[in-house]
Structure 1
Amino acid sequence: MGIFPDVLVEPDVRAGKLVHLLPQWSLPEGGIHAAFPVARFRPAKVRIFLDMLIAAERNRSRESRTSRR
């Protein structure tokens, strides 16, 4: 059990892999924000996590544009 932004789990919810336990509740809208200290060499796991968030947000934006048509 966990609390995750819809953008990260929506495909698994639609596929039936996850169950939305509190459908009336959601995180506030406002986009994704990532804050971390400036570093000359950023660990690969941080870069991979950021890439995943960016890809998920692009997919969500693309799907919302498609569903409005």
Structure 2
Amino acid sequence: MLAAVRAGPSVLPGFLVRDELAGGRLVQILPEWQLPSGGIYTVYPAARFRPPKVTRFVEMLVAAEQQKGEGRER
């Protein structure tokens, strides 16, 4: 996807191109426009024992979403 963006105008979520924008390799042409936010949903079967990797993955998603929200407030 990044190669396509470098080749011409594209629409991608900011987290995919953050480093490219910061490094000046890409230029944001419509800074007031944003993709609609939809949140993140995790779906997994109910179980008495949930594998630790599933729990850690969900925790990682929650932390990333919280960090993303903090970035908007600044």
Interval containing the TM-score (normalised by the shorter chain):
0.5 to 0.7
Instruction: State the Cα deviation string for residues 6-35 of structure 1 (Å, max 9, x = none).
Output: 5xx82x74335xxxxxxxxxx752100111
What's the counterpart of residue 33 of structure 1?
41
**Equivalent pairs, count:** 50
- Identity percentage of aligned residues: 45
Unaligned runs of 5+ in 2: 2-12, 21-34
Which of 15, 18, 33 is residue 19 of structure 2 equivalent to? 15
Residue 65 of structure 1, CA deviation: 1.0
**What is the CA RMSD across the aligned residues, in angstroms?**
2.4
